[in-house]
Structure 1
């Protein structure tokens, strides 16, 4: 009987030590898991929520619609969309406690893998009138004419006029590193 008591005591001590080790490792595991979370995953957990962004030149805000590899899409209260270069975001407010799982194959994932250049090419194809917000705090208005490897070319014209030769006041090439965001024009009323 004494042996059984001794073995029971030893088993209890080992179980207690294992539980203590596991409890001590839990914060390390949690920190390691947090260390693998990308900003894009953190942002995807807030899709549908209102966010405020600090960016060079201007604060931005809106409901988060989607997140890509180097961009995020906001919708403002006026019906405009705002394509924001993630590299220009210095702080995000309004995040929820949710974090989306890391991206994997599935519906909608193709769009998320498209980079900022491809998203801008979509605006060029659609001939959408936009305001291009720049890191120096300035803004250019007009239509995206073309997107190169490291620049976007904008035909400047008033937002209330279509891109016609007579309306274009200048054509400017803007390095992608200088683009904070591209905002679509207000929807036409009528």
Structure 2
């Protein structure tokens, strides 16, 4: 009878050890899977959550994730329906981002690059507000290159070129957000 208790005790310890090893392996696998996720994957998984993106030092943009590309995200303000295009490198912090993610192969990843999205805005001839590392520019996107864009500035928000408007070149690296008006 004493040996039965010893064997039962050993068997219980062995089962406990096996469970602990399985839990540790599962946690390691979960961490390894999480390490493969990009911010774009997490943004695609946001669903209908309202997020606040902190861009640069003073700019905060709030909205629902409308579309995600490899190097950009588009947010739509639920109240005004205003759309903002934000380059991924400009995003400093995200508030409201759920833990779930949606990898690119499981979702509608936009095949368009940031340049293509900006060219589409330029074709629309929309007046845009560009938030840059150097400040705010109002105007129309005139041309989009590989690493920069030209903007015909409209200092007071006019609809056409006026005296005082100038053509400004913005480096893509300095671009924080593009908000069509």
TM-score greater than 0.5 by the shorter chain:
yes
Equivalenced residues, count: 171
Offset from partner CA, 1:18-43 (integer Å, 9 cap, x none): 44422221211111111111111111
- Offset at residue 143 of structure 1 (A): 0.5
Partner of 1:188: none
Cα distance in 1 between the residues matched to 2:106 and 2:20: 39
TM-score normalized with structure 2 length: 0.83
What is the CA-CA distance between 1:113 and the residue it aligns to? Answer: 2.5
Two-structure CA RMSD over aligned residues (Å): 2.5
- Closer, same or farther: CA 146–65 of 1 in aligned 2, 3 Å: same
- In structure 2, the CA distance between the partners of 1:24 and 1:105, relative to structure 1 (3 Å rule), is closer
**Pair 59,33 (structure 1): closer, same or farther in 2 beyond 3 Å:** same
The alpha-carbon distance between structure 1 residues 47 and 158, as it changes in their structure 2 partners (threshold 3 A), is farther
1:104 is paired with a residue whose SS is helix
Structure 1 segments, 4+ long, off by >4 Å, are none
CA displacement 1:74-127 (0-9 Å, x = unmatched): 112323110011101111001123211x21287x43xx1211111101111111
Indicate how the Cα distance of structure 1 residues 167 and 131 shifts in structure 2: closer, same or farther if over 3 A, else same: farther
Q: Hey, what does 2:111 align to over in structure 1?
A: 113
The correspondence of residues 160-171 of structure 1 with structure 2, limited to 5 A, is: 160-164=157-161, 166=162, 169-171=165-167
CA contact (8 A) 2:143 2:149 kept: yes
Partner residue of 1:150? 147
When normalised by structure 1's length, the TM-score is 0.79
Q: Which consecutive unaligned segments of at least 5 residues does structure 2 have?
A: none
